[in-house]
Amino acid sequence: MNKIFIDACQGKDVPYSPVWMMRQAGRYLPEYRAVRKDAGDFLSLCKNPKLASDVTLQPIDILDVDAAIMFSDILVVPLELGMKLDFIPNVGPVFSDPIKSIKDIQDFDPVKCANNLSYVYDMLKITRDRLDDSKALIGFCGAPWTLVTYMIEGTGSKTYANVKKLIYTNPEFIHSLLKVLTESLKLYLEKQILSGADAVMIFDSWASALEKDTYLEFGWKYIQEISTYIKSKYPHIPIIAFPKGVSGYLEEIDGDFDVFGVDWSTPIDLAHKKLGSKYVLQGNLEPTRLYSKDAIKEGVEKIKKVMQNKRHIFNLGHGILPDVPVENAKYFVKLVQDKL
Amino acid sequence: MNKIFIDACQGKDVPYSPVWMMRQAGRYLPEYRAVRKDAGDFLSLCKNPKLASDVTLQPIDILDVDAAIMFSDILVVPLELGMKLDFIPNVGPVFSDPIKSIKDIQDFDPVKCANNLSYVYDMLKITRDRLDDSKALIGFCGAPWTLVTYMIEGTGSKTYANVKKLIYTNPEFIHSLLKVLTESLKLYLEKQILSGADAVMIFDSWASALEKDTYLEFGWKYIQEISTYIKSKYPHIPIIAFPKGVSGYLEEIDGDFDVFGVDWSTPIDLAHKKLGSKYVLQGNLEPTRLYSKDAIKEGVEKIKKVMQNKRHIFNLGHGILPDVPVENAKYFVKLVQDKL
């Protein structure tokens, strides 16, 4: 059975632009909060294939989105490379021993890391079995640059001063770390595909932390490398690239991927003009528009006017916020799917 | 005596692109830390004309930059409208009673607010007297949108969810608040000019928090209104506009200002192409480049190659970081001024 999401990723004609939402399995859903409570902390949920599969499927059951994205976190990769990771309530992820020098990474082993992530593959297998044939299952990883940033800053940062200081004073060290991550992520995405992922997405949430030339060298280059590896081995699997905050130089963005994820700060008409003929576009409703049905309608209409339901996948331009009414999320999905 | 900075703002030919740095009177300077210690907390320093003048002049004495920017904070405006403001170490500014509804702003009085800011005008008068004729003195304010964001979120925010929820659910309320601020800021900048400011800069640090159409309506429109007011009354005073993070739609940016401040995330060649013939450009060295002399040199050369020392003022693309070596800041200034 054809999956409208996969057809759209491949640029085929589809009856409507398929729709899903970043962080669609998340705190705005009471059903998610219930499972999360049972699982204990956030990492325990990520590591529990059955429960992670349950929350992965919730947005399919509740919202009828066209794709499920596996429930996990980008930071399980540094975790399984051997770093100590905690998710602290109201703070977020924290690496209590951030990376400082080359000796901190000498034991990092990409093969071992990819093997350690078996709980993710188990979850994907269960989920693909449970998921209707018409719906797609999306795997994902964080891009090397975004992971490096967390691993060196230790947690979220306003200025990224530690990692950027190293870029400008010890670039070889940062490249060494990026290379280990790139090797790990190639194997990780490959194993996701072998476990049932129908498409994979690479999140570079902190592309916006670097100026153009620096991002192209320390960020985008490694996404290209991962994409080329996956595309050469699994040409039928769509790859979605999501470097957030590169609206100033979209014309520099190219590689072996199928779909470009447009963040909300990038005007959709600009993305359409610069990248729309080369890549299918995904996005980019402003997440806070979900607070108001009028704002959703206005935003969806603006995007439709540009994209004309061609070579487009609807999504938010960033993750759904925890206090959005579920009713509004449903309204967004139905509006896009012409089911109102 | 001609001020090279003012000449450059007005697009005149100058022997070199003048240079100053955002937050140049700041924690990276031991001399600043000493005065700050004497003054007590941050707000006490802002409110002390003599000490604020001392730190305003430090970068002139220590770095020989071409312009001094008055030492103050954008949040003194909401403070003098009547809000309770604290600067909490390691947290930043906090409004303990953020604005929730229209009744919280009904006593806001632009005239009273502008009059209450006399400590700023006193500081400017002292400083202009003490400053060499060849150096310019820059006044400034925060843009209405950035101020509204602080006033409603209460402090810095990752998602700006509270203020953006109001934009999409109660836009009239946000416009009312923006209007009161716009009136206050017109009078505030005017009084700065009458007290000795040779140029004024409008900082919209959180322009990046809104999507294009929303920013143009809730942010940029009010900067245009303030600029038009000031320009019509004081045509010889250069106005610098700094909406941070609008690289995706530079072609929409216009108004009665003279200089466009380019943040580091906007490629300088893009700004040059889209805005360079209409406005003088200011910026945009990546602040973390100041950690390394090689990185400074590379960054300065890239900018010079695009700007060719024409219609350009050198600056960082964001504020200088607290742990930058003073020696490197000096190197940057001397390199730009051809004094190495």
What pLDDT does B133 receive?
97
For the CA atoms of B320, B289, B220, A281, the dihedral, rounded to the nearest 10 degrees, stands at: -140
Tell me whether residues A167 and B214 touch, CB distance under 8 A: no
Domain total of chain B: 1
| Best to test chain A binding among B149, B152, B211, B302 (most A CBs inside 10 Å) | B211
Specify whether the CB–CB gap between A285 and A339 falls below 8 A.
no
Select from A217, A103, A102 the least CA-distant residue to A167.
A217
Collect all residues with Cβ–Cβ distance below 8 Å to B103 and sequence separation of at least 6: none
Rounded to an integer, what is the distance from CA B311 to the centroid of its chain?
A: 19
Determine the residue of chain B that is closest to A250 in CA distance: B248
DSSP B217: I
- Interface size A-B, in CB pairs within 8 Å, comes to 82
Q: How far apart are CA A141 and CA A121, in angstroms?
A: 13
Cβ neighbours of A164 in B, within 8 Å: 286, 288, 291
pLDDT by residue (tens digit) across B116-128?
A: 999 999 999 999 9
User: For chain A, what is the radius of gyration of the CA atoms?
Assistant: 19
**B138's tokens:** 């820059």
Tell me whether residues B168 and A245 touch, CB distance under 8 A: no
What pLDDT does A81 receive?
98
Q: How far apart are CA A23 and CA B281, in angstroms?
A: 39
What pLDDT does A320 receive?
97
pLDDT by residue (tens digit) across B12-58?
A: 999 999 999 999 999 999 999 999 999 989 999 999 999 999 999 99
CA distances from B333 to A213, B13, B20, B103, B134 (A): 23, 19, 8, 48, 16
Q: Beta-carbon neighbour count of residue A2 at 10 Å?
A: 10
Select from A241, A229, A221, A239 the least CA-distant residue to A184.
A229
> Tokens 């010079």 label which residue?
B304
Q: Distance, in angstroms, between A209 CA and closest chain B CA?
A: 8
Cβ neighbours of A158 in B, within 8 Å: 156
| Best to test chain B binding among A265, A297, A320 (most B CBs inside 10 Å) | A265
Q: Distance, in angstroms, between B292 CA and closest chain A CA?
A: 6
Give the confidence band of B157 by pLDDT, cuts at 50, 70, 90. Answer: confident
**A9's tokens:** 């990723």
Q: Distance, in angstroms, between B113 CA and closest chain A CA?
A: 31
Cβ neighbours of B288 in A, within 8 Å: 159-161, 164-165, 167-168
pLDDT less than 70: residues of chain A: none
> Tokens 């967004």 label which residue?
A332
Determine the residue of chain A that is closest to B171 in CA distance: A295
User: For chain B, what is the radius of gyration of the CA atoms?
Assistant: 19
Tell me whether residues B211 and A286 touch, CB distance under 8 A: yes
Q: Pick B157 or B252 by higher pLDDT.
A: B252
Q: What CATH number has the domain bearing residue B50?
A: 3.20.20.210
Catalytic: A311? Answer: no
| Three-state DSSP class for residue B75 | coil
Q: How far apart are CA B320 and CA B261, in angstroms?
A: 15
| Best to test chain B binding among A211, A292, A297 (most B CBs inside 10 Å) | A211
Query: Among partner residues A164, A212, A264, which is closest to B211 by beta-carbon distance?
Result: A264
Query: What is the length of chain A?
Result: 340
Among chain B, residues having any CB pair with chain A shorter than 8 Å are: 156, 158-161, 164-165, 167-169, 208, 211-214, 245, 247-249, 264-267, 270, 286-289, 291-292, 294-295, 302, 317, 321, 323
Alpha helical stretches, state H, chain A: 4-9, 30-39, 42-46, 49-63, 76-81, 110-116, 118-130, 144-153, 161-169, 171-194, 212-215, 221-233, 268-275, 293-307, 326-336
Q: Beta-carbon neighbour count of residue A101 at 10 Å?
A: 10
Q: A73 labelled as ligand-binding? A: yes
Select from B148, B128, B126 the least CA-distant residue to B137.
B128
Query: What is the length of chain B?
Result: 340
Q: Distance, in angstroms, between A164 CA and closest chain B CA?
A: 6
Residue type, B284: N
Q: How far apart are CA B144 and CA B182, in angstroms?
A: 6
Q: How far apart are CA A222 and CA A228, in angstroms?
A: 10
pLDDT by residue (tens digit) across B187-214?
A: 999 999 999 999 999 999 999 999 999 9
Q: How far apart are CA A200 and CA A261, in angstroms?
A: 12
Catalytic: A150? Answer: yes
Tell me whether residues A294 and B168 touch, CB distance under 8 A: yes
Specify whether the CB–CB gap between B239 and B232 falls below 8 A.
no
Query: Among partner residues A169, A294, A321, which is closest to B159 by beta-carbon distance?
Result: A321
Q: Which residue is catalytic, options A121, A150, A188, A331?
A: A150
Rounded to an integer, what is the distance from CA A12 to the centroid of its chain?
A: 23
Pairing of strands B199-204, A199-204: unpaired
Tell me whether residues B321 and A291 touch, CB distance under 8 A: no
What pLDDT does B158 receive?
82
Q: Pick A268 or B155 by higher pLDDT.
A: A268
B129 phi/psi in degrees, rounded to 5: -65, -40
**B159's tokens:** 């998602």
Average pLDDT over all residues of chain B: 97
pLDDT by residue (tens digit) across B247-301?
A: 999 999 999 999 999 999 999 999 999 999 999 999 999 999 999 999 999 999 9
> Tokens 């693909």 label which residue?
A128
**B51's tokens:** 């000490």
Select from B327, B270, B322, B193 the least CA-distant residue to A213.
B270
Cβ neighbours of B287 in A, within 8 Å: 159
Q: How far apart are CA B189 and CA B278, in angstroms?
A: 23
SS (HEC) of A249-263: HHHHCCCCCCEEECC
Q: Say if residue B318's pLDDT is above 80.
A: yes
**ipTM of model:** 0.94
What pLDDT does A71 receive?
98
- What is the residue range of B149's domain? 4-336
Q: Which residues of B are annotated as a binding site?
A: 23-27, 73, 150, 205, 318
Q: How far apart are CA A179 and CA A185, in angstroms?
A: 10
Specify whether the CB–CB gap between B288 and B28 falls below 8 A.
no
- pTM over 0.90? The answer is yes
Cβ neighbours of A213 in B, within 8 Å: 302
Residue type, A272: H
Q: A236 labelled as ligand-binding? A: no
Q: Beta-carbon neighbour count of residue B12 at 10 Å?
A: 12
Q: Distance, in angstroms, between A169 CA and closest chain B CA?
A: 6
| Best to test chain B binding among A170, A217, A247 (most B CBs inside 10 Å) | A247
Alpha helical stretches, state H, B96-244: 110-116, 118-130, 144-153, 161-169, 171-194, 212-215, 221-233
Please list the active-site residues of B: 23, 27, 36, 73, 150
Cβ neighbours of A156 in B, within 8 Å: 158
